[in-house]
Every structure is written in C-alpha cells, then in structure tokens.
Amino acid sequence: MIANRVEKGRYLDSVALMRVSRRLCALPGVDAAAAMIGTPANKDLMRDAGLLAKDGESAGPNDLIIAVRGAEAQAALDKALGFLSDRPAETTALSHARSLKGALQALPDANLALVSVPGVFAAHEARAALERGLNVLIFSDNVPIEDELALKNLAKERGLLLMGPDCGTALIGGTPLAFANAVPRGDIGIVSASGTGLQEVSTLIARLGGGVSHGIGVGGRDLDQRIGALATLAAIEALEADPGTSKIVLISKPPSPRVAARVTERLKTSPKPSIVCFIGAEGVTLRGAAESAAGRRLEWPDRPKVSPTAGKVIGLYCGGTLCAEAESIVGGRGQFVDLGDDEYTRGRPHPMIEPELRDEHLARALADPQVSVLLFDVVLGYGSHGNPAQVLVDALKGTKKLAVASVTGTEADPQVLSRQVAILKAAGVIVAPSNAHAAEFAASIAG
C-alpha cells in the first residue's frame, strides 16, 4: 500500500525532513517513506522510488509531501503529523520568523542573511536581502547561473558580499556559518570557491598553530567564465581592507584559465602576501596551502608501512574538493565519487549530514574483487553528522580491504577530532593527517 499526504504551503528544511523520514521508516509495517517538498525534481525521485500516489502528484513546489509504502502506511501517515511538529530541544530558545521582514524586526542590526531554501526560490530571497542592504550567504544549490550572475552584479553595485550559491562554508569574524569548523581567530584570511576546501585548510591551519581572520566562501561557480570571479574579487578587496588579516589564501577547484589569470594578476597588486591553491595544478594541495599560510609542515610521524597491493583505489567522498584533490593525486589508478554532487543530493540532505548516502556505493566496492584500497573523507564541524566515523565503521564491518581515511576537523568541533580518529583506528582504518596525505598513501600502495 502507498499512501501520501500533502501539507499545503508548508516548508521544512531538508534536515528536519530527513529526521521525519527516518522516524517513519523505523515504524512497524513501513517498507519505505519520505518527506519532501513538492518540487518537480523531488516528485521524480519519489516516483522512481515507488512512493508517489495520486495525492502527491497534485502537490506544488510550495507544498510538503509525506509518502509511505507498506502494510501500515496509513497509520504511519497519522503519526507523521506529530513528527513534523517536534523540534529539537536545543532550538526552542531561538528566535523564529517566517519572513525576511520579520527576521529584521527581531534582529534590526543584522548585516548578513543566510538563505537556505529550495534553489527555485533562493534568488528571490537573496535579492530581497541585498536590496535591504544585507550581505548574503546562499547555502541553496540548484540556482540557475543566470540568477547567480545577476545577484553578484547587484551585490557589486551595492558594495555587498554575495557568498554562493551553493556556499557550504564561511567563517565571518570568528562565527562559523553552515558547514564550518571551530577554529581559532588569527591573521589568515581565506577566499574559497569550495566549502570542504575551506574546511580542510582552516582546520589544518588550526592544527599547525595558526588562526583564521575570515573565511569567505564564494560558491563553486564563481571562477567560471560566466561569473568572472565577481565574489572572489570582492572578497579579496574586503580582506585587504581588514586590519586583522595579514595574508590571504585563495582556494578553488580548477577555474576558467582566463578567470584564474585575472584573479592571479589582481593578487599580485595586493599589499598582502597571498597563497593560491587551484586544485589539479601540478604539486598543489590543500595541505600545502595550509602549510604555506601557517609557516609549518604537517608531519605524519606514525605513517604505517604497508606492502603494495594489486588492484584499484575507490574513493567515496562527501566533500567535492577533497574528492577532486584525491583524484588528482591518485590519477588513473582510482575511481572517485563525489557524493555531495547535485545528482546525489536532490531531495536528500548532503552526505555530511547523512553519511549513510555512502553505504550503497561502499557495498558495491566491498563486493568488487578488483578493488584493493578504499579511500574516504570524514568531515566534522557544525551542521555535520554527530558521529560520522561510526557510520563509516559500521558500513565497513567485516571487510578485509585496506581502508584509508582523513578527518577534517578540530578538537573543538562538536564531534571532537581525537574521538573520531580513535573510532576509525580501533576498526583498523588507517587515518592520515590530511586528505592529501591519505591520497598519497593510497597511491603509493595501489597499482
């Protein structure tokens, strides 16, 4: 039996909906369940999963669909409404508003808005915030690039920062936004077209004894030819004007060559020294960028000695830039999957929130006799899963294949770096001090 309920005009973010879906799936008599906003893409996902009924087909992009399949589907739907009303205890003391206007009434001195709504609505909300004189971080993905260009030009006209779309991480004045880590304040400013790139470099800087003044995310497409690094150039200017910043680190996956040249030439005119980290360039790593910024090397004193093994490397990554970096190091000896890519996250939380997304791919890799080395990232910080190392260890249980991982995080993160490392090591996973170290290690033993 398949049953759907449509809640008209009701919106909850993907994390809240994930919690509801999990609770529904755990009920007796339920084979599968999902709670999603009724966008066309989400309805396609539910249809493909055999969860969409006639009622759900009628839902619009402003509506919430609750879908259940199983012998007790209708009873589960009745319980779903109660699940929707539940709120985590830690959020009950926070101020709530249902509109930008209401939020500004509650916080009249605010100067930054974080937009996290379905991509089809994000540009409208971001424009409204910019027009009210607010800097904007757009966490939402699936925003048309034409909207991104228009918003960044508007921000430039207004003298504001537009971070995103698909900006997963920022550290503004010591305040972590979205998927950021607990890192100390310092004099190193970071401009990043990569969320996990910013996380990796900022946490490695922290481990090397340094600190971050600001970490400004600009969105993964900012150094695309069509955008022309509008946010990157604005962020560089902001860091130059900041008296607490003495050096600048720039991070990006492979940019447009013309745009890369423009940004590089701009940095040459800066009064502050800079480190450029374009992933994929020969010899360039996030670890190297952090070492150059902090003025120290990140060592691996207990690197294990492992005999070479025949077979290929499979890299299953939550962070897109971490995946790109590992792939550039391992080369043709590996196959890599970026589980944070849009094709895997439409209608589902990001794998840093729901690392179980990796399990299906991992099961196939474990069953493949040609695979000899498994390579992973484990990303900590605010917003990420509470115990991602344990999720990975549970999925690896019983395997004889060599597993190698790095952990992006600090001791001050909610998950605690040393605890996550201990969980992995206790299960036999080799833990490297950085993603680059892990990929280099995997490359050295596979072939």
Write the DSSP symbol of residue 277.
Answer: E
b/e per residue, 33-60, with b = 16+ CB within 10 A?
bbbbbbbebbbebbeeeebbbeebeebe
Q: Provide the pLDDT for residue 346.
A: 66
Q: Provide the pLDDT for residue 111.
A: 95
Residue-averaged pLDDT of the chain: 92
| Rounded percentage of the chain residues whose pLDDT exceeds 90 | 71
Q: Provide the pLDDT for residue 84.
A: 84
Architecture of domain 312-445: 3-Layer(aba) Sandwich (3.40)
Q: Please state, as a whole number, how many other Cβ atoms lie within 10 Å of the Cβ of residue 369.
A: 7
Q: Does residue 333 carry a pLDDT above 70? A: yes
Q: Please, are residues 165 and 140 in contact by the beta-carbon 8 Å criterion?
A: yes
CA dihedral 123, 124, 126, 131 (to 10 degrees): 130
The Cα angle at residue 265 between residues 261 and 271, in degrees rounded to 5: 150
d(CA 163, CA 127): 12
Residues 6+ apart with CB under 8 A from 423: 387, 389, 390, 393
Q: Please, are residues 24 and 46 in contact by the beta-carbon 8 Å criterion?
A: no
d(CA 347, CA 59): 15
Chain segment 342-355, per-residue pLDDT in tens: 777 766 678 888 88
Q: Provide the pLDDT for residue 347.
A: 61
Chain segment 72-113, per-residue pLDDT in tens: 999 999 998 888 877 555 444 556 787 899 999 999 999 999
Q: Provide the pLDDT for residue 22.
A: 81
| 112 φ/ψ sector (left φ>0, alpha ψ -120 to 50, else beta) | beta
How big is the chain, counted in residues? 447
Write the DSSP symbol of residue 31.
Answer: S
The pTM score is 0.85
Q: Please state, as a whole number, how many other Cβ atoms lie within 10 Å of the Cβ of residue 23.
A: 18
Q: Is the peptide bond before 165 cis (omega within 30 degrees of 0)?
A: yes
Domain range 111-294, CATH class: alpha beta
d(CA 81, CA 445): 52
Q: Provide the pLDDT for residue 118.
A: 78
For residues 176-196, give the mean pLDDT: 95
- Top pLDDT among 165 and 347 is at 165
Ranking 23-37, 149-163, 273-287 by mean pLDDT, the lowest is: 23-37
Within 33-99, where are the H helices? 40-48, 54-57, 73-85
Write the DSSP symbol of residue 127.
Answer: H
Q: Provide the pLDDT for residue 94.
A: 57
The tokens of 387 are what?
């115990």
Q: Which residues of the chain are in CATH 3.40.50.261 domains? A: 111-294, 312-445
